Structure formats: C-alpha cells, structure tokens
Amino acid sequence: MNFSKFTHLFYGAIYLLRTGILLLGFAALSSSAFAQQEAETQPTETEEIEAVETEAVEEEPTEAEIQVEAEAQTHLTNSLLSLSETVTARQKRLADLGREMSRTSKDIDKVALQIEIDALALEITQVEQEMDLVVLGLQARQYSKDNGEQEPVNISEEIARVFEPIIMSIERATEPARRMEELRQLADQAEKRIVIAQNTLDSINGFRDTEVKYPKDVKERLDKHHELWQNRLQEAQNIDIALKEQLAATRRARGNSLKQFSEDFGGFILNRGASLLMAMVLGFGFILLCQIIISSTSYWYRRSHNDVLSASMRIFSMLISLIGIIGGFVIAVTIFNIRQDWLMLAMSLLLALALSWTFVKSLPALGEQTRLLMNLGAVREGERTLVNGLPYRIERLSMYTKLVNPSLSGGEMIYPVRELIGMHSRPVTDGEAWFPTQIGDWIVRDGKHYQVTKQTPEHVIIRRPGGAEDFVPAQEFMDTLFEVISDGYRAVYEFGLDYKHLDVARTEIPERINQCVKDHIGDILGDEALVAVDTRFVGLGDSALSFTVLADVGAGLGSEWKKMQKYLNHAVVEACLTQNWDIPFPQLVVHKG
C-alpha cells in the first residue's frame, strides 16, 4: 500500500477523532443535568446503602456558615411577616371598598370603585406570589416544570421525542445560570419599585407638609395615597431584602460547583464516556477496515493494470467507503441503544441528519465531481494536463488529486477535485518531455549563453558565464524561443582565400581545413569533442573564394559554445599559415570617367 493512501487515512482519522472529542465535551457538560434524570429510577438496596454512607461522611458546616444561614433565615422570616401584614391590610381595604360600593347608587362612583377594587385584587395576588417566592424560592417553579406535562413543540411528535434528551440536557445544564439571572432581574425590578414608591411618597408629602387647608375629601385622598404608597414602599423593600438573601444563598451554593462537577465528570467517564469510547473504537475500526480493503484491492489492481484504476474499480471503492461510513454509524447507534444512552443516541441522529442535509444540498455540485472520481470525465488518471501553462501527469485521481511534473523541483501539487472541473487531459506519448530543459543544461536564448541552475513551477533561474543570474517566470520561459545545446550543437565559421588558390579550392583546401580543425580542437577538448567537421567551398566572392566550416560538437560541451568560434578561427589561421594560403583584403575599384 502506498504512503499517500495511508496519509489520507491518518488525516481522516484525526478529523473523526476531533469530532468525537467535541461530542465528548458536550456530553460531559450535559452529564450533570442528566444525573437528575437517571436518579429518578428506583435505586437498589446497594445504592441506598452507598447513599447513606455518603451522607454520613459529608462535611459538617462550619460555625460561620451556620451563623450566616441563621441571619439569612431571620431576614426571610421578617420579609414574610411584613408581606403578610401587607396582604391583611389590603384585604381589609378590599372589604371596605366592597361595602362602600354596595352603599353607593351613582354609576360613576361604582365604576371608579370597581377599578380600584380590581387594582387592589391584582396587588393582593402579586403580594401572595411574592410570599410564595420567599417561602419556596425559584426551585419550586422548576419542580412544577420538570414534573408537569411537556410543552408542545412545533415539529412532529416523533422527532421531538428523539431530540428531547438534548433539549432537556441543555435546559438543566444552564439551570443554575438562568436561576441566578432571574434572581438578578427580580432584584433589579424590586429596586426600581423602591425608587418609584419613594419618589411618589416624596411627591405626596410635598402636598401634605404644606400649611394649606385642604377640603376634607382632598385630605382623605392624600392620606389614602400616602398609606397606599407607604405600604408599597415597605413591600418593595421587603422583597428586595428577600431576593438579595436568596441571591447570596445561591452564590454560596455554587461554592461546591467544582466538587459537583468532578463527581459528575467521574460518573460520565464510567457511564456515558464508556459508551462513547466503545462507539468510537468500533465505528472507526469498521471504517478503517473498509479503507484497508480499498487500499489493498487498489494496490493489487494498479500493479496489474499499468498503475491506473478503471471506472468499475473506482465504483467498487466508493461503495466500500459508503458501506464503511454507514456501517460505522450504525454500530455507534446500536451501542448507544444497547447501553440506553439516549443523549448520545439523539446527538448521533442529529449529526446524521445534519450531514445528510448538507449532502442533499450539495448533490447538484457533486455530479461532475463524481464523474471525475470514477475516471469518466474530461480529466483522467495517468494522462497529461496543463496547469498554468505547464504540463503535469495526473498521478492519483481522488478527492485531492496529485499532479506531478518530474522535471521540476517541487513539481508535485495537490488539487481538490472541484478545481479539475473545466480542465482536460490527453494520453502521454512515449518519450514526451515534461519540460524543455533539465537542471545543468546550457541554452542559447536571444543570442546569449546561459546555464539552467534551477527550475520550479513558479520560475526558472538561468546563469550567464561569469555568475550573473536571470529569474524568468516558468510560463514566460516556456513561451520563449531558445536552443538547448547540452546534447550537442553546430558551430559555423566563414572565411575567404585568394583567387590564385582556385585550382585547389574544391578538394584540397576543404580536406586540409577539416584535418587542421580536428587536430586543433582535439588537442584542447579531446578527440571526442567533435562529432563531424565539414568545410565547404560555397562560392565566388567579389575579392575572395568563400568557404564555410561546419563543426558538429558532441554532448557535454555546452559551456564551450562561446569559445568554439575562437577555436575554429585559430585552426583556420594555422592551416593558412602552414599552407601559405593568402587571405585577401576587400578591394574597391574606382573607374575614372
């Protein structure tokens, strides 16, 4: 099996492990809330004995804590007595209003009295609710909520029943914070009532404290308002004291939250954590087994089919992968169901629903990608394609396709399959080059002599004799005309001789020049430097016989390209001097008219 396949498997396992850790963390936060639900089951005799022993070893409260609790209880008792007096006074006032209404005969007075009676009855109800709050606290509301009927949901009954554990766990996990926030809001509301009542009393006292003699009905109205708002101020102050005591008690109760969390987390590791671990190990194990089957079959198939997977083999691999994913999920759900871990079961179903919905929404875009993955699209494995003007071989066609150019340094790229849509490929021909040069090659570009020192998918570095370097973008380098001379090239040299040597120009002069060039260059570069030498008598010039020397230089002598003209010039001059051949000067004939 190749290393790339195992690399993809490793990163896939890391991704799945990270998802499992997220689920583990969410379940750990929910374990404290679910401890209440699990405690509703009938305890066994052993559990009862353990509970009694646990209670026996609980820490005894300190003297300071006992004193704080006693003071808090005293404040609550005083608040309750004050609220009780308020209710009694308002009930008495309500009875007086009822008798007054029965004696009056005016409709207008009856309407006013009825409005006052309704407002007073509402205030009595609110005060009674506040008395219940002082006595019972907020936990009584949660008790009624937990044991009452579930509120109706908007989704269908079956789906609500499946995902109800998640909703309930979130509610119970956030219950302490929500209770604390509700107490703060009620305390703020009580403080606002105190301010309003005090401002109203100040306004009423402003009228009552003056020396003005009011009529009897006005004075009675002022006294009635003063009594009413005085009671409201006292009531708000009592409620404020009670709420602050409950808020302080709640904060003190949260002092043992770390210990409670440790106990709940330990229970989670032994129960829900074990279920999650078993589900992850067996589920991922089944997925890994399917991937091993795919890797093994692909490896042996590639060995016998020129390292290319056919469409049928790709369909088989995709089916095995799908079976592995579905099978791993079914194994996990089955484990949660057997161990009756309804929270993890509901979370698994929710995860499956989210993934299924994402898959359905992205299905139109997956059509062309599926064709490519099955090796039936315009880009196929083992063929040649162009990326940014450079050729690449499609070495592995998968979700992350591997493209390779063996002639470039760093010529391996990983392309997502979606990036291949719109591209095309063609079969690779025998002996086809993947880049026109290799590192170390000598080239002639724009009449200049260079050596290629580095070539990557981004740029090509070419060095001139002497050390100067040019950086050329790879695509621009491909679009430039140049000549590679590392494997051999032809040097051309032209010269002329006097017309008096015309009788030996066709045979003797070319033969002697050829021999002299071979001897001279052989002494400098070796006998294998020249593949062939051909001196040609090419024509009759204005003042000389024209000759051309064609020297075919062998491989490995690209660095001598610039010097080769000098070597040929020296060889021709040496031959002329040895044979006493005259090289004429250009002549200009002037005719006198």
Let me know whether 201 and 254 are in one domain. yes
Let me know whether 479 and 546 are in one domain. no
Let me know whether 475 and 539 are in one domain. no
Which residues have a Cβ under 8 Å from the Cβ of 420 and sit 6 or more positions away? 372, 377, 379, 401
Q: Is the pLDDT of residue 421 over 90?
A: no
The answer to whether residue 194 is domain-embedded is yes
The answer to whether residue 309 is domain-embedded is no
CB 333 within 8 A of CB 275: no
Element (H, E) at 423: none
Q: What's the token pair of residue 288? A: 């890994």
Cβ burial of 143 (10 Å; 0-12, 13-18, 19+) is exposed
Let me know whether 516 and 534 are in one domain. yes
Q: Look up residue 529 and give its DSSP letter.
A: S
Residue 268 has a pLDDT of: 58
Residue 5 has a pLDDT of: 45
Q: 67-93, pLDDT tens digit by residue?
A: 777 777 777 787 778 778 888 888 888
Residue 61 has a pLDDT of: 63
Q: What's the token pair of residue 544? A: 């000389």
Distances (CA, A) of 103 to 120, 327, 431: 19, 83, 119
Q: 268-324, pLDDT tens digit by residue?
A: 566 667 777 888 888 888 989 988 988 888 888 878 877 777 777 778 888 888 888
Give the closest residue to 301 by CA, choosing from 322, 326, 320, 325. 320
| CA–CA separation, 32 and 205 (whole Å) | 54
| CA–CA separation, 323 and 57 (whole Å) | 53
The answer to whether residue 92 is domain-embedded is yes
Domain hosting residue 503, numbered range: 489-579
Q: Look up residue 66 and give its DSSP letter.
A: H
Q: 11-37, pLDDT tens digit by residue?
A: 454 444 444 444 444 444 444 444 444
From 223, 250, 265, the end of a domain falls on 265
CB 376 within 8 A of CB 318: no
Let me know whether 468 and 554 are in one domain. no
556 or 65, which is more confident?
A: 556
Rg over alpha carbons for the chain, rounded to the nearest Å, is 50
Residue 38 has a pLDDT of: 43
Least confident segment among 51-55, 119-123, 267-271: 51-55
Let me know whether 473 and 493 are in one domain. no
The pLDDT of 334-342, averaged and rounded, is 79
Domain CATH for 539: 3.30.300.100
The answer to whether residue 196 is domain-embedded is yes
Q: Is the pLDDT of residue 42 over 50?
A: no
The pLDDT of 481-510, averaged and rounded, is 90
| CA–CA separation, 137 and 483 (whole Å) | 93
Q: What's the token pair of residue 15? A: 């991704």
% of the chain residues with pLDDT over 70: 75
Let me know whether 466 and 555 are in one domain. no
Spatial strand order in the sheet of 412-416: 412-416, 400-404, 390-396, 384-387, 425-426
From 207, 232, 265, the end of a domain falls on 265
The answer to whether residue 245 is domain-embedded is yes
Residue 140 has a pLDDT of: 58
The answer to whether residue 100 is domain-embedded is yes
CB 530 within 8 A of CB 580: no
| CA–CA separation, 557 and 567 (whole Å) | 13
From 451, 484, 517, the end of a domain falls on 484
Question: Please, which pLDDT band fits residue 334 given cuts at 50, 70 and 90?
Answer: confident
Let me know whether 449 and 575 are in one domain. no
Q: What's the token pair of residue 424? A: 């095309």
Least confident segment among 98-107, 143-152, 206-215, 565-574: 143-152
Which residues have a Cβ under 8 Å from the Cβ of 372 and sit 6 or more positions away? 378, 379, 397, 417, 420, 421
37-41, 196-200, 263-267: range with highest mean pLDDT: 196-200
Question: Please, which pLDDT band fits residue 484 given cuts at 50, 70 and 90?
Answer: very high
Question: Please, which pLDDT band fits residue 3 given cuts at 50, 70 and 90?
Answer: very low
Q: What is the pTM of this model?
A: 0.48
CB 506 within 8 A of CB 546: no
Let me know whether 475 and 544 are in one domain. no
Let me know whether 214 and 130 are in one domain. yes
The answer to whether residue 343 is domain-embedded is no
Let me know whether 228 and 199 are in one domain. yes
Instruction: Domain count for the chain, please give it.
Output: 3
The answer to whether residue 367 is domain-embedded is no
Let me know whether 536 and 518 are in one domain. yes
